[in-house]
Chain A
Amino acid sequence: MTDTSATLVQGTLDMLILKTLALEPRHGWGISQRIQQLSHGVFEVNPGSLFPAFRRLERADLIACEWRISENNRRAKYYSLTKAGRQKLRTETMEWERQVAAIARILQTAS
């Protein structure tokens, strides 16, 4: 419940989740921690939007899940990228970079 945490730009949560899974499969908590960590605490992800996003991505066949035994010897659900997910991440990232660059250009010239 930190006031400092910024709200995510609409539609970017899915991309961030895919990104955190690019290296290795993670469970829900892991993903949320990783996003927080990589953004240096700027984004804090609410579980209320995180879990529906998992379900959405799973249904769209972008991530896959499996049950594993976690470090503390309990059942945990691990998510990993599918082939389609990896592809999606690539195109989304490119599109994002293109847009950010364009916005940056506009902001610079407008002043």
Chain B
Amino acid sequence: MGLWKNLFAGLRGLFQKRQGEQELDDELRDFLDKSTAEKMRGGMTREEAWRAARMEMGGVEAVKENVRSAGWETYIETLWSDLRFGARLLRFNPVFAGTAVLSLALGIGANTAIFQLLDAVRLRTLPVENPQEIARISIEQREGLSGDFNGRFSDFTNAIWEEIRARQQGFSSVFAWGSTTFNISPAGEVHNVQGLWVSGEFFETLGVKPVLGRLLTPAEDHPGCGAGAVISYSFWQREFGGERSALGRSISINRHSFPIMGVTPPEFFGVEVGRYFDVALPICAEPVVDGAEYAMLPRRSAWWLASMGRLKPGWTVERARAQLRAVSPGIFEATLPAAYNPGSAKRFVKNQLGVFPAGSGVSDLREEYESPLWLLLGLAAVVLVIASANLANLLLARASAREKEMGMRMAVGASRGRLIRQLLAESLLLSMAGAALGAFLAHGLSEVLVASLNKQQDPLFVNLGTDWRVLGFTTGLAVFTCILFGLAPAIQATSVSPWIVLKEGGRGTTDGRARFGLRRVLVVLQIALSLTLLVGALLFGRSLGNLAKVDAGFQRDGILVTDLDYTSLHLTNEQRVAFGSELLKRVKAIPGTDGAAIVEYAPLSGNASFHDVLMGTSSLPADEDKSSAFNIVSPGFFAALGTPILAGRDFDEHDVAGAPLVAIVNETFTRKVAKSENPLGITFRVRRMGTMLGPFEIVGLVKDTKYVDLREKPEDIVYTAIAQADHPDEDTQILIRSKMPLAGLISAVKATASETNGNLDVSYYVMKERIEGGLLRDRLMARLSGFFGILAVLLAVIGLYGVISYMVARRRNEIGIRMSLGADRRSILRLVLRESLLLLAIGLTLGIALALAASSAAASLLFGLKAHDATTLIMATLILAVIALAASYIPAMRASRLDPLEALRHD
């Protein structure tokens, strides 16, 4: 109650100021009157009594001031007048104010942009009902899992998911989902949209309500499956213009028609932060969409689902985890894939389920970018510190110019604390203006950041709204920088003695040396920090360079990969092989084609397959087999790719079904698996999903190529012939090397496809672009750290230049005297440069120590070099030293060219 009264009275004091003042006046006058009256009764004259009463009270204004300062509202009042005064001063110095605000805006903007992204992918909770109750179920240490993995979160097979649903107790309900892409084009060129497989409980558990129609319910998710598709709000807007008539219309998904049953609300993007969905189908519809041959639903070795649930009231994550752990053996024993070899099976049943908080959803984007973003935030913060140090330097220079003003104000009775407050108000004004502009910049910057991470084949969606966290962060930065650059100069400026007012002239004031010392410390700090950033920039730049130079084992340029899908033709196995080679023949006939070949997995496409290899002809299943990477190709593959055949031969027209099975292997396979100098003629068998294949005879040896990722160590790869494939796919992926311009080539391929058969689904990508997509994170780190590094060096050099110039200006007299006493130009040059060399040396030493300590944070993000890379450190030190010396050479030259007479005449 006291607090409210205080608050209310304070507000009244602020807003009804005149009335308050009047009352205080009245009260004091009343007091004086009574005091006077009393004194007159004691025998004084009216005049005397009045004077005595006034004397007793002391200064009326002082009393009033004391009364006012007993309430909190005075602080606000003085702050307000300080701010107004500060604004007036800054208006008189537009260049200073402009530079300060702009550099702060850049620094704060960069920090806020990165934080905004972090907030969106890491800190924010899912836009669903009570997100803190949502938890994810997954396997804790994944052991002995093999099979087909599909989607971004392939935690479970359908069998495991059904067991979990039946046996869990800690959740009021659980759901499963899987990410995929759906082709919504009824024919011709493929149009992929972001798809979601969801179990019937998905929307209910999350508490998502439809904006139109209705959403899927558990009752509709059953074998046989008659349900329709749920579409997202953005998809509804994009494809149907937000028309209500979309309801009841149908949409083609992988050439199957589904009625649209409902639309989700605008803010709902699924449970994967950083991604979105366009269409959601019940998981029971999967066999229909993917076709019986490829259906994942009934297969125990198809991993394509992930699971979450809403905890029951009173159940914690730990309790739910303990319960699921207890039932884990039962679940894994009941779902063991039949094809597993005994070793894998033993490890498979030992897996344990875990429960993890998932109020902020799951995110592959987060897994990939969280630590780089924190690192970038750190770099941006350092840039801000360097910029603040520059501002502090500027303010210190101003502080010496304002010595007199401060002395005067202290002489007339202002307290030091009051003056510091007033100077800080000025700094606060600068930092607030910088923060406001920075927040504005940040919005654009973070969008650019997200756009730079976007890949065409798996698009991002990051909701970059400004929430209280971002606001708090930006405000915090403003206050932090204000104190960083404002406090020291304010303390310095007010450390003058009031006597200064009485001194004539400004030369050689008492404490100039101390003040100058602080500026030197700031410059040393700037050099040290900017060296650290420069080291970081060079590390990431060189790491990206290493990745670009990696020998992938083939020529990346000029390759188009096209996929021709003929599922709709319903061909038999033999027909598929024939149709594929017909397609290849026609593609080869396109003018300008240097080479074309069929390939199961294009290198570095992210698709892969590993199978057990058994050397010799033995068919006895070993406990633990070595597994190798596999690929299925047509003759001419290595020529088209530009991979040299080192020994033996390529596949040819004789390697067909019925002929002896042949294989081509790479160098690593020879070394690690075949363990032989000359692998030609060696035979081996392959165990694929429980089936024994082979024996294969090795007929060729090729150079190592990268398989899934540029960063990987060479994999042992086995190539088999497409014409001998035991189970050909219903699509043919053709790799084309061509001289033709891309656009022309693509339309030629499309024309060829439709000439062959009008019912093909055609999709394509440029190999080089796909490979570069895999380097996005490295490119982001190299670019941003490079930008921050350059900015930091620039700011530090400006700081050094400023301090050296200032020193030259201060020592003008001394230099003049030295020159007139016979010092030559070179010795003056030396005098000045010695100063900057000293600062530089201390700064660089400090910086090297700092860089060594800090760079280990980057270790996991680097490729082909260590975090403590000596070359990088030396390069950075040299670059910074040269630039810094060049910058201090300018004022040094100026000093050496001083006219001694002129210098002495000036004060």
Contacts and interface: CB of A to CB of B under 8 A. Distances in A.
Given A47-B63, A48-B63, A61 B1 contact: yes
Given A32-B31, A47-B56, A48-B62, 9 more contacts: A27-B30, A49-B66, A51-B24, A51-B28, A51-B63, A52-B67, A67-B23, A76-B30, A84-B2
Interface residues of A, number: 28
A93 interface: no
A52 B66 contact: yes
B26 interface: yes
A56 B58 CA distance: 20
14 contacts: A27-B31, A28-B31, A33-B38, A46-B56, A48-B57, A51-B63, A51-B66, A55-B67, A72-B33, A74-B30, A76-B30, A77-B23, A77-B26, A77-B30
B34 interface: yes
Which are the 4 A-B pairs with shortest beta-carbon distances? A29-B34, A55-B70, A61-B2, A52-B66
A75 B57 CA distance: 20
A59 B33 contact: no
Nearest to A28: B31
A22 B805 CA distance: 71
A70 B9 CA distance: 25
A107 interface: no
B27 interface: yes
Interface in B1-34: 1-2, 5-6, 9-10, 23-24, 26-28, 30-31, 33-34
Interface string B783-803: 000000000000000000000
Nearest to A77: B27
Contacts of B26: 75, 77
Interface in A51-100: 51-56, 58-61, 67, 70, 72, 74-77, 84
B591 interface: no
Interface of A: 1, 27-29, 32-33, 46-49, 51-56, 58-61, 67, 70, 72, 74-77, 84
Contacts of A33: 38
Contacts of A55: 67, 70-71
B5 A29 contact: no
Contacts of A54: 67
B31 A47 contact: yes
Contacts of B166: none
Contacts of A59: 2, 5-6, 9-10, 70-71
A46 B58 contact: yes
Contact of B35 (A29, A58, A70, A84): A29
B76 interface: no
A77 B22 CA distance: 12
Nearest to A33: B38
B55 interface: yes
A48 B58 contact: yes
A55 B5 CA distance: 12
B30 A47 contact: no
**SS class of chain B's interface: helix, strand, loop or mixed?**
helix
A51 B67 contact: yes
B5 A61 contact: yes
In this complex, the member of B6, B35, B67 whose beta carbon has the largest number of chain A beta carbons within 10 angstroms is: B67
B73 to A, nearest CB: 10
Contacts of B35: 29
B55 A1 contact: yes
B30 A28 contact: yes
Contacts of A51: 24, 27-28, 63, 66-67
B31 A48 contact: no
Contacts of A53: 70
Given A77-B26, A77-B27, A56 B56 contact: no
Nearest to A31: B31
B31 A29 contact: yes
A51 B523 CA distance: 51
Interface in B66-90: 66-67, 69-71
Contacts of A76: 27, 30
Given A46-B58, A77-B23, A56 B70 contact: yes
Interface string B122-147: 00000000000000000000000000
B70 A75 contact: no
Contact of B57 (A47, A58, A61, A67): A47
A51 B24 CA distance: 9
Contacts of A46: 56-58
Contacts of B9: 58-59
A56 B9 CA distance: 11
Contact of B70 (A1, A32, A52, A61): A52
Contacts of B58: 46-48
A82 to B, nearest CB: 10
A60 B67 contact: no
A59 to B, nearest CB: 5
Nearest to B55: A1
Contacts of B1: 61
Nearest to A75: B26
Contacts of B57: 46-48
Contacts of A56: 70
A60 B26 CA distance: 22
A82 B95 CA distance: 57
Given A28-B31, A29-B34, A52-B70, A60 B55 contact: no
Nearest to A51: B67
A28 B27 contact: yes
A48 B30 contact: no
A70 B30 contact: yes
B16 to A, nearest CB: 15
Nearest to A74: B30
A38 B660 CA distance: 123
A49 to B, nearest CB: 8
Interface string B875-901: 000000000000000000000000000
In this complex, the member of B10, B66, B71 whose beta carbon has the largest number of chain A beta carbons within 10 angstroms is: B66
A5 to B, nearest CB: 11
A26 to B, nearest CB: 11
Interface string B98-115: 000000000000000000
Interface string B47-62: 0000000011110001
Contacts of A52: 63, 66-67, 69-70
Contacts of B28: 47, 51
B808 to A, nearest CB: 53
A29 B34 CA distance: 7
